[in-house]
Amino acid sequence: MNTLKNALHATLLSRGATVVTAAVIMLAASGVLAATSPKAAGKKPTVKAVTGKKGDRISIKMEGAAAVLSVHSKRGIGSAEVTRLQESWPEVTIRFHLSGLESLRISNGRVTLSASVLSHGNNKRLLHRIVDGNEQKVEPGSPYWMEIRMVAGAGGKPKIPLDGGYFEVRIPKAMLGEGAKSISLRWIDFLRG
């Protein structure tokens, strides 16, 4: 393989290609630049996200028809606004790369979901829906039900404080319907006294 690369490099230089051009072609031929090509990068995201605090960032990638947002928050307390860029919402999955998730609020302007993963005991998950100031517990089977998964980092076992992993939620379709153009997110890793 090295002989082939050397021959290609020599041929490019003999035909007037600059050293930089030859190097770029060689990198592309060897697959090093493949990860940066538009085709390899995947589909263009169908949502955008703006964080509310410096030190927070969100990356977005498309996995099939789903938008997957990865939230990183230096302080562990933050907010963001997620807006759809098309006529309808894709499936939206959010991965919070935090040590804990004692408070999460997701609102579409009419309905707010309030979620928590308790940092003690068996890490019980709590989920409530708030409409017009009235709070109700959300049970499995509800259109507002939202599973909260803890995913451990580096093959470890998921436990709080979560080290290198993330909390994953899939936003319920009921939160993305009825003309909702954006959803707001507010998170706290650990409640501070």
CA distances from 18 to 13, 25, 29 (A): 6, 11, 16
Per-residue pLDDT tens over the stretch 52-109: 999 999 999 999 999 999 999 999 999 999 999 999 999 999 999 999 999 999 999 9
Banded pLDDT at 20 (limits 50, 70, 90): very low
Average pLDDT, the chain: 83
> What mean pLDDT do residues 14-36 have?
38
Banded pLDDT at 43 (limits 50, 70, 90): confident
CA distances from 119 to 31, 75, 124, 126, 162 (A): 44, 17, 8, 12, 10
Which residue in 85, 101, 75, 88 sits closest to 50, CA to CA? 85
Distance between CA atoms of residues 154 and 88, nearest Å: 35
Secondary structure of residue 60 in the 3-state scheme:
strand
Banded pLDDT at 42 (limits 50, 70, 90): low
Per-residue pLDDT tens over the stretch 154-190: 878 899 999 999 999 999 999 998 789 999 999 999 9
- Whether the per-residue pLDDT at 8 is higher than 60: the answer is no
Which residue in 105, 118, 114, 111 sits closest to 52, CA to CA? 105
Distance between CA atoms of residues 17 and 161, nearest Å: 54
> What mean pLDDT do residues 17-39 have?
36
Per-residue pLDDT tens over the stretch 127-158: 999 999 999 999 999 999 999 999 998 878 89
User: Which H or E run contains 25?
Assistant: helix 19-30
Banded pLDDT at 22 (limits 50, 70, 90): very low
Q: What's the whole-model pTM score?
A: 0.77
